[in-house]
Amino acid sequence: MADDAHSDLADRLRAQPTLTGVAPPLDVQALPSDPVALFVEWLDLAISDGVAEPHAAVLATVDADGVPDARTLILKDVDARGWAFASTRSSRKGAQLSAHPVAALSFWWPSQVRAVRVRGRVVEASAEESAADFARRSAAARDGVTEGDWTLWRLQPARIEFWQGAADRNHTRIVFERGPDGTLVRARSEEKTA
């Protein structure tokens, strides 16, 4: 019985279509050499194409025992300093970031068949920046949160992967990694993925 129920679900899941969006044109020979610029290009196109909540991402962290955790949050900004996000220091993620200041962010824009993942160290922004972000929140969003608890962090990428799916499964993966001189450079192998 349980097996039947499971296989029914497995069948329903198998029947679900994936990669149903329409990928924008992509010339991998003509990309900006700076992955921050490429991310902003992709994000701006997601915004102008009307991708739903393109600034939502899954943030993964690890706890003091090394056990991973993940939740969705909102991207606040991106620049050479990193990918900025905000939450309360007293939250589970706040405790995890203080024990292990590393994280990964994962974006998925289904209607464009595009995904971006970023991983690296996390640094806390200045108290002034956190306070400024708190001040920009609506009164409703500030409700129940003390100003000193609200914290802006930046994920400084060690690796960034841009992924674009294709109907023929000839997916494209563009990878940047931090080189020995500290700059982010295109990885030599950008293998095709299943």
Ligand X SMILES: Cc1cc2nc3c(=O)[nH]c(=O)nc-3n(C[C@H](O)[C@H](O)[C@H](O)COP(=O)(O)O)c2cc1C
Residues making contact with ligand X (CB under 6 A): 53, 56, 69, 71-74, 86-87, 91-93
Nearest residue to ligand X, scored by beta-carbon proximity: 87
d(CA 119, CA 99): 17
- Dig out the tokens for 125 from the structure: 């922004």
Helical (H) or strand (E) element with 64: none
| Shortest Å, Cβ 190 to ligand X | 30
| Shortest Å, Cβ 73 to ligand X | 4
The residue among 33 and 72 lying less far from ligand X, judged by its C-beta, is 72
Under 8 Å between Cβ of 93 and 87: yes
The residue among 96 and 176 lying less far from ligand X, judged by its C-beta, is 96
d(CA 141, CA 125): 20
| Shortest Å, Cβ 69 to ligand X | 6
DSSP state at residue 12 = H
Helical (H) or strand (E) element with 167: none
Please name the residues in contact with 168: beta carbons below 8 A apart, sequence gap of 6 or more: none
| Shortest Å, Cβ 129 to ligand X | 15
The residue among 39 and 176 lying less far from ligand X, judged by its C-beta, is 39
The residue among 71 and 192 lying less far from ligand X, judged by its C-beta, is 71
